[in-house]
Amino acid sequence: MVNEISYPLISLKWGGAAGDGLQSTGLLMQKYFNSLGYSVFGIPGTQSTIRGGHVWQHLQVAITRIDHFDEELDVLFALNKQTLDVHFNNVKNNGIIITNSDIVNTDEFNIKIVEKEIHLVSLPLTTNARNIESRSLILANTIAMGVFLKLFNLPIEQYHEILKKRFAKNSKILEYNLTALQIGFNYNTEQDVSRRLGPSNGKLDNIVINGNQMIALGAAASGLKFLAQYPITPASSILTYLAMNAAKFGIIVRQAEDELAAINMIIGASFGGARAMTASSGPGISLMAEAFGYASMTETPIVVVNSMRAGPSTGIPTKMEQADLLSMISLSHGESPRAIFAPRNIEECFELTVKAFNVADKYQIPVIILSDFALSEQTKNIPEVDLNIKINRGKIWQKPSSEFPKFKRFQFTEDGISPRAFPPTPEANYILVGAEHDEESHSLSGNRCGLPNSWTIREKMIEKRFKKVKKLEEELDGPEFYGSNDADYTIICWGSTQGAVNEAVDRLNKSTKYSWNSLSFSNLFPIPIQLTKEKLQQIKYSIMFEINYTNQFEQLLYLYVDWKVNNRIKHLNGETSTPNLIIKKIFQLEEFKNE
Amino acid sequence: MNKDELEKIKFKGDVKPNWCPGCGDYGLLSATTSVLSDLGYQPNETVIISGIGCSSSFPHWTSAYGIHMIHGRALPAAYGLHMVNPSLKIIVAGGDGDGYGIGVGHFIHTARRNINIVYMVMNNQIYGLTLGQSSPSSQQGHITLTTPSGVDERPINPISLALGAGATFVARGFSGDTKHLRYLIERALNHKGFSFIDVLSPCVTFNKLNTFQWFKQRVYKLEDINFDKSNLSDAFSRSLEWGEKIPTGIFYETTIPTLDETDPVARNKIVVKEKLGLDNIDRNSIFDYFR
């Protein structure tokens, strides 16, 4: 061997039909690299297809921390022909394609393969898999993995450990996989270059986790006691992770008959004193609208996770969008206070879920955690999170006190926050009601409706409910700059696009003569007005990047902070945004045409 | 009042009902509050949950805890509350629009889950609070605001529906016979599992067809005939009877495990009494899954 190539980062894609076992192989690979101390970042490309179709798993492995992925590929695993058709053009010059010669004919790509100096490893994966076990075609993945390990001079023993853990309960399947891995590893790939991943210096005991699992873990650490949820992409893995751990965590986890039931169930559980949560995506969230308003009106703390997918209606269930923001701000009829948090990365999925529960209890409001497909289904390795977190349950009334000698559920107070009591607390019996009510929660919709005394109470109650969120603003976090504060250009974003935007900022700072930074928001609503203004004032030229057509966050800034962006870019095809895409969109703007 | 008298009315609320004079719902309200007292329940340990409609004001006229939910969603709220604290006695009360119309899906699912609560539907076969439209249980031919040429849909059969959905206690009462109602409520409260009572509760203002008199001429009690309430087939056949004769009483009763006895968490603990968070759990047992 003559040459040696050292990679600081490998971008790879694993493509095939649904049911080929791509996602589970992708996860095993991430756990493998994690155990070697590398940084991993994965995102699935899924369809609403259980078997067949075209799905992929994108994975980046790096020697330093990463929070984004790139379209350009170092390695493409093509388990079927469609993978080549769709992704061939993304393979870099000198890249690698590992493919299944039993079913993939590469003839039409031969010229380009030569032109791009792509190293093609074409081997009969199906035949080899069949030779090990006639029914387990999924073994093709493991064979390909063996080839990959060999190509990059990676240690095979560590992958044995990963397989042993994965198939600990089934020794036969483990044996098949170990055999398959060795077959791939022994395959003569005829490469003339020695490829290596640069040395890792990360921790060896990080965890590989996705956004939904982090939200679930954050909820459990916060003292979640009741989860009711109806399955929906991309929120289902919150339900399945917590169902799997229900007994261990002491959380009652129930699958509801629909989302209407789910949110009303958690309202009942919260009335009883339990921290309660539901999770869904657009279609299910729309169904929850009425009950969401009830929770706000009755000042019942609940946490609702909306993992956004592309809408409206069924939309594109397995793709991301940030188009629910305005509907979350106005979810339900009338005017009902709430808080909305949009995690910007996997770490914040935990932190903001903890915050969501404390804010819900303290201010007695419904709180929305606004994730999206790209964040919920994204996997990354991070250090173990600290599960010992601060829990604030707010004003709980247990017996007469000097401040609250007699229990009145909606007592008018300085900050608008009244005491809560749970059955069977004696002397606190009251009826929770969605009709406008007085301090003792007596309905004003019946015989007292329209009487002058009710007018006064109505106005005071509206004031009281909104006073709470005014107070909440004091403990909200403002947006954060990435890069120097006085940059020439600022890209503004919110939620899960932060990683790609920040990487774009780094690249722009290197490749252009201007300085760039980003300003990202996670505490979306109510907008922390003062903190937001302070940051916005420092911006010289702003470019808003959000994944919706109607400039929803831009509208918010204009409405609440009286501030206008200079320019905007957007990306609406449903795929997770990449740094180069963001850069490309920026240079398509009129202002940058000549750059 | 002496102590005994006070004890008798301890479930009576301070707020006076705003139901029409003569409304059938009064019968169920007084029967319920008196039976709760008789059986020794305490208002602070009892939660009455309703949806929307005339009858759904029910909790406000009692001294218990209560939730006056949105339309049709009383049962899911009851389910959530019950699962986190099964030591509370929960009664869900509502009307036919609430339970057989907008909320009928929850009725079926709550029945099949066999959660240990009582569900009473004040069935007046009309929408009263919106001033007289047809309901899912309106009789065919009934002329209402929305059916000027008479109801042309067949009415729902709540008894068959409850039986089919797997309710473990299925009964029908008549608010014109509060003594019998008290008997049914007592049996429902003592039943372990989902107890359903369809209560014929005439609307004196908007339903001039199915009146107290109309029912009085037709109802009879299953307890008065030789009827085996442990036989599901017999219960189904009897549930189809409606017209010249209308059966009331307990159609079916059986005992199977309730959801709080089978749920992997609820069967061991009352979660609202548990410590919050994951401090007591071995970190490795949580994080190893992710490696």
DSSP annotation string for chain B: --HHHHHHTTTB-SSPP-SPTT-THHHHHHHHHHHHHHTT--GGGEEEEE-SSSGGGGGGGBSSEEEE-STT-HHHHHHHHHHH-TTSEEEEEEEHIIIIIITHHHHHHHHHHT-S-EEEEEE-SSBTTTTSB--TTPPTT--BTTBTT---SPPP-HHHHHHHHT-SEEEEEETT-HHHHHHHHHHHHHSSS-EEEEEE---TTT-SSS-HHHHHTTEEEGGGS---TT-HHHHHHHHT--SS-EEEEEEEE-----HHHHSTTTTT--GGGSPPSSTTS-HHHHHGGG-
Per DSSP, the three-state class of A253 is strand
Tell the residue number behind the tokens 């009709």, with chain if given. A435
- Beta strand residue intervals within A29-140, DSSP E: 39-45, 52-62, 73-78, 91-100, 119-123
CATH architecture of A480-592: 3-Layer(aba) Sandwich (3.40)
CA distance A77 to B130: 64
Is residue B167 within 8 A of residue B92, CB to CB? The reply is no
Using the beta-carbon criterion (under 8 Å), do B265 and A220 form an inter-chain contact? Answer: no
Domains of chain B, by residue range, sit at: 3-290
Condensed to tens digits (0 to 9), the pLDDT of residues A230-242 reads 999 999 999 999 9
Token pair recorded at residue A250: 């002491």
Task: Assess whether pLDDT exceeds 60 at residue A503.
Answer: yes
* Chain A residue numbers touching B265 (CB-CB < 8 A): 246-247, 250-253
Interface of A with B in 181-210 (CB under 8 A): 205-209
A394 touches B: beta carbon within 8 Å: no
Cα B250 to chain centroid, rounded? 14
Query: What pLDDT was estimated at residue A2?
Result: 56
What distances in angstroms separate CA A138 from CA A101, A161, A446, one per listed residue? 16, 19, 65
B49 touches A: beta carbon within 8 Å: yes
* Chain B residue numbers touching A169 (CB-CB < 8 A): none
CB atoms under 10 Å from CB of B288, counted, come to 12
Using the beta-carbon criterion (under 8 Å), do A268 and B77 form an inter-chain contact? Answer: yes
**Which of B84, B283, B287 is best to mutate for the A interface (most A CBs within 10 A)?**
B84
B227 touches A: beta carbon within 8 Å: no
Domains of chain A, by residue range, sit at: 3-205, 208-382, 480-592
Condensed to tens digits (0 to 9), the pLDDT of residues A270-327 reads 999 999 999 999 999 999 999 999 999 999 999 999 999 999 999 999 999 999 999 9
Is residue A380 within 8 A of residue A40, CB to CB? The reply is yes
Percent of chain B predicted with pLDDT > 70: 100
**In DSSP terms, which residues pair with A42 in a beta bridge?**
A59, A379
Torsion, Cα A490 A491 A494 A498, to 10 degrees, reads -110
Q: What is the mean pLDDT of residues A564-570?
A: 97
CB atoms under 10 Å from CB of B271, counted, come to 26
CA distance A421 to A411: 12
Task: Assess whether pLDDT exceeds 90 at residue A450.
Answer: no
Using the beta-carbon criterion (under 8 Å), do B266 and A221 form an inter-chain contact? Answer: no
Which amino acid is present at A498? Q
CA distance A97 to A88: 9
Using the beta-carbon criterion (under 8 Å), do A34 and B291 form an inter-chain contact? Answer: yes
A428 touches B: beta carbon within 8 Å: yes
Order of strands, sheet of A91-100, starting from the edge strand that comes earlier in the sequence? A119-123, A91-100, A73-78, A9-18, A52-62, A39-45, A379-382, A207-210
Tell the residue number behind the tokens 């900050």, with chain if given. A415
CA atoms within 13 A on the CB side of B195: 24
* Chain B residue numbers touching A443 (CB-CB < 8 A): 57, 60, 68
- What residues contact A440, with CB distance under 8 A and at least 6 apart? A408, A409, A410, A430
From the list A34, A256, A268, which residue is nearest B81 (CB)?
A268
CA distance A379 to A491: 25
Condensed to tens digits (0 to 9), the pLDDT of residues B261-275 reads 999 999 999 999 999
B274 touches A: beta carbon within 8 Å: yes
CB atoms under 10 Å from CB of A50, counted, come to 8
B216 touches A: beta carbon within 8 Å: no
CA distance A40 to A73: 15
Task: Assess whether pLDDT exceeds 80 at residue A137.
Answer: no
What distances in angstroms separate CA A455 from CA A5, A200, A296, A418, A452, one per listed residue? 77, 68, 20, 20, 5
Q: What is the mean pLDDT of residues A554-570?
A: 97
A407 touches B: beta carbon within 8 Å: no
Using the beta-carbon criterion (under 8 Å), do A431 and B66 form an inter-chain contact? Answer: yes
Interface of A with B in 13-52 (CB under 8 A): 31, 34-35
**Is A208-382's fold the same as A480-592's?**
yes
Interface of A with B in 248-307 (CB under 8 A): 248-254, 256-258, 260-262, 264-276, 290-291, 294
B67 touches A: beta carbon within 8 Å: yes
Q: What is the mean pLDDT of residues A527-536?
A: 97
> Three-class SS string for A186-228?
HCCCCCCEEEEECCCCCCCCCEEEEHHHHHHHHHHHCCEEEEE
CA distance A504 to B257: 58
Q: How confident is the model at residue A329 (pLDDT cuts 50, 70, 90)?
A: very high
Interface of B with A in 232-271 (CB under 8 A): 263-266, 269, 271
B76 touches A: beta carbon within 8 Å: yes
Query: What pLDDT was estimated at residue B101?
Result: 98
Q: How confident is the model at residue A46 (pLDDT cuts 50, 70, 90)?
A: confident
From the list A205, A222, A423, which residue is nearest B65 (CB)?
A423
Token pair recorded at residue B250: 């307990």
A431 touches B: beta carbon within 8 Å: yes
CA distance A281 to A236: 9
Is residue B266 within 8 A of residue B86, CB to CB? The reply is yes
A334 touches B: beta carbon within 8 Å: no
Token pair recorded at residue A286: 């729309």
Higher pLDDT, A44 or A505: A505
Token pair recorded at residue A261: 């039931």
**What's the topology of domain B3-290?**
Rossmann fold (3.40.50)
A129 touches B: beta carbon within 8 Å: no
Interface of B with A in 157-186 (CB under 8 A): none
Using the beta-carbon criterion (under 8 Å), do B68 and A249 form an inter-chain contact? Answer: no
Query: What pLDDT was estimated at residue A191?
Result: 80
**Nearest residue to A469 via CA among A418, A419, A522, A416:** A416
- What residues contact A169, with CB distance under 8 A and at least 6 apart? none
From the list B69, B80, B291, which residue is nearest A269 (CB)?
B80
From the list A34, A221, A265, which residue is nearest B76 (CB)?
A265
Closest-CA residue in chain B for A300? B67
CA–CA min distance A381, chain B (Å): 9
The whole-chain average pLDDT of chain B stands at: 97
> Three-class SS string for B4-44?
HHHHHCCCECCCCCCCCCCCCHHHHHHHHHHHHHHCCCCHH
Task: Assess whether pLDDT exceeds 90 at residue A128.
Answer: yes
* Chain B residue numbers touching A387 (CB-CB < 8 A): 277-279, 281, 283, 286
CA–CA min distance A40, chain B (Å): 12
**What's the topology of domain A3-205?**
Pyruvate-ferredoxin Oxidoreductase; domain 3 (3.40.920)
* Chain A residue numbers touching B69 (CB-CB < 8 A): 264, 267, 294, 434
Using the beta-carbon criterion (under 8 Å), do B44 and A432 form an inter-chain contact? Answer: no
Torsion, Cα A398 A400 A402 A404, to 10 degrees, reads 70
**Nearest residue to B117 via CA among B44, B55, B193, B41:** B193
CA–CA min distance A305, chain B (Å): 18
- Packing angle between helix B104-113 and helix B158-165, nearest 10 degrees? 40
A216 touches B: beta carbon within 8 Å: no
Task: Assess whether pLDDT exceeds 60 at residue B289.
Answer: yes
Q: Residue A151: enclosing H or E segment and its boundaries?
A: helix A139-151
Query: What pLDDT was estimated at residue B138?
Result: 97
B81 touches A: beta carbon within 8 Å: yes
> What secondary structure letter does DSSP report for A44?
E
B15 touches A: beta carbon within 8 Å: yes
- Angle of CA points A537, A538, A543, to nearest 5°: 90
Condensed to tens digits (0 to 9), the pLDDT of residues B174-228 reads 999 999 999 999 999 999 999 999 999 999 999 999 999 999 999 999 999 999 9
Q: What is the mean pLDDT of residues A483-504?
A: 97
CA–CA min distance B26, chain A (Å): 17
From the list B49, B67, B84, which residue is nearest A225 (CB)?
B84
Decide if domain A208-382 falls under CATH 3.30.420.40: no
Is residue A522 within 8 A of residue A344, CB to CB? The reply is yes
Please give the backbone phi and psi of residue A53, each rounded to the nearest 5 degrees, phi first: 70, -160
CA distance B112 to B97: 21
B1 touches A: beta carbon within 8 Å: no
CA distance A322 to A282: 11
CA distance B183 to B176: 13
**In DSSP terms, which residues pair with B246 in a beta bridge?**
B219
Using the beta-carbon criterion (under 8 Å), do B81 and A269 form an inter-chain contact? Answer: yes
Cis peptide bond prior to B202, omega within 30° of 0 = no
Task: Assess whether pLDDT exceeds 80 at residue A48.
Answer: no
From the list B76, B84, B274, which residue is nearest A272 (CB)?
B84
CA–CA min distance A267, chain B (Å): 6
A429 touches B: beta carbon within 8 Å: yes
**In DSSP terms, which residues pair with A78 in a beta bridge?**
A15, A99
B286 touches A: beta carbon within 8 Å: yes
Is residue A473 within 8 A of residue A466, CB to CB? The reply is no
Burial class (CB in 10 A: 0-12, 13-18, 19+), A143: buried
Task: Assess whether pLDDT exceeds 80 at residue B110.
Answer: yes
What distances in angstroms separate CA A402 from CA A117, A418, A424, one per listed residue? 81, 14, 21
Query: What pLDDT was estimated at residue A23?
Result: 79
* Chain A residue numbers touching B105 (CB-CB < 8 A): 257-258, 261
Tell the residue number behind the tokens 């064979």, with chain if given. A143
Q: What is the mean pLDDT of residues A337-363?
A: 98
Task: Assess whether pLDDT exceeds 80 at residue A355.
Answer: yes
From the list A250, A271, A434, which residue is nearest B265 (CB)?
A250
Using the beta-carbon criterion (under 8 Å), do B73 and A291 form an inter-chain contact? Answer: yes
Task: Assess whether pLDDT exceeds 60 at residue A565.
Answer: yes
Is residue B148 within 8 A of residue B226, CB to CB? The reply is no
